[in-house]
Amino acid sequence: MIKKMYLGSSLCKRMIFKSFSRFNVVSTLLFIVLAITCGYVYLYNEGVNVSDVNVAQISNLDTEDSEGVCDLYDGKWVLDESGTYPLYNASQCPFAENSFNCLANGRGDKGYLKWRWKPNNCDILRFDVDVMLEKLRGKRIVFVGDSLSRTQWESMICLLMTGVDDKKSVYEINGNKISKKIRYLGVRFSSHNFTVEFYRSVFLVKIGSVPKHSPKRVKSTIKLDELDGIRSKWIDSDILVFNTGHWWNRAKLFEIGCYFKVGGRLKLGMSTMDAYTTALNTWASWVESMIDTDRTRVFFRTFEGSHWSGSHGHTCKVTKMPTFGSKSEYRSHFSDIIKKVVNNMAVPVTAMHVTPLGSFRSDAHVGTWSDNPTVPDCSHWCLPGVPDAWNEILFSYL
């Protein structure tokens, strides 16, 4: 079709070019007008609807005009009453944690399940479970990170299980049950011969020992210049998705005596953001030297927004509707660091900038609808919910 279009436009060019030398300026204008006209005439005659041209393809054109660029993370949540959402029932998915199954834990309103992420200038491909099961046949998908990574892992398994008739053919490789502190979980889809795995590594770098003669307040260290000891397990995967962020705060570091270490030396005065940058550069160097990016597609998911409020940030109030504000309100220093590090890497890695998606969704957190309602949760998400959108975006890359 493209070849025919090219021939049609070439014919118009030859017709116009004969008179070009006589009327230089005028013919130039005519050339532009007639070339455009011939293109549209051709499209009309061939039955092609101009509006059907793929926006994502248009966005690849070299242009200074940002309009029409397909940015999957620049968009809004739209209410979808088509019946498509939610994409699965968490109560029918044995790999969805009870902690995240808000409906089963007593949440009465279901409106939070009906929202679909819509980029401004394009559409995310609708999830087709049969296509994805075939796409993943024989593959190894690995998630590495904290509990938010585990939530995405659970979401992916539940999404894919909707296309499997024999649910017993999907099982955890070692017979383990999902728990918050287990370091490895691997689920096999035997009908399609692939695994979806999760490795718990909340900092991505290694937890180290305390150097001699350290101050008494130092109880443990994080070795910013050495990746987690289980890093060799992440190699030889086909899809590799990383995240880290929620443990990089005072409550989970300095207040429990955990400090940073580089080159075997304590860095007591190092800020959290400087430490985070150092850790990510360590990760980036490892990916560049150890991962075959011709085989493995590497992603790093940015920081996921939480909605703690109050003077001390300990209040969790889940709304009934998404909240909407300007893009500048939803910046994250962690996400900025991730994007900068990824952009400077020598190998292809995709930064999944999901920060804006979650920032709007103050209605989609676990809140008190968990297996422990006495401890509110405005960090994690209900399933089904926001992590499904992350996976829809991930699938669109594939």
**What local confidence, expressed as pLDDT, does residue 50 receive?**
29
Give which of 108, 102, 55, 112 is closest to 80, Cα–Cα.
112
What token pair was written down for 217?
């307040």
Angstrom distances, CA of residue 346 to CA of 186, 287, 288: 30, 10, 7
- CA-to-CA distance for 295 and 60, rounded, in angstroms? 24
As a whole number, mean pLDDT of residues 384-394 equals 97
Does the pLDDT of residue 140 top 60, yes or no? yes
pTM above 0.85, yes or no: no
Q: Token pair for residue 18? A: 């004969």
- The residue from 99, 147, 201, 306 that is catalytic is 147
Active site residue 147: yes
Which of 192, 246, 307, 380 does the annotation list as catalytic? 380
* Residue 380 is a catalytic residue: yes
Q: Say if CB 367 and CB 315 are below 8 A apart.
A: no
Report the C-alpha gap between 151 and 387 in whole angstroms.
Answer: 7
**Catalytic residue from among 146, 228, 363, 377:** 377
- Mean of the pLDDT values across residues 203-209? 96
Q: Is 307 a catalytic residue?
A: no
Local structure of 146: helix, strand or coil: coil
List the Cα angle 302/306/311 in 5-degree steps: 135
Say if residue 26's pLDDT is above 80: no
pLDDT attached to residue 67: 63
The rounded distance, in Å, linking the Cα atoms of 236 and 292 is: 8
Radius of gyration, CA atoms only, the chain:
25
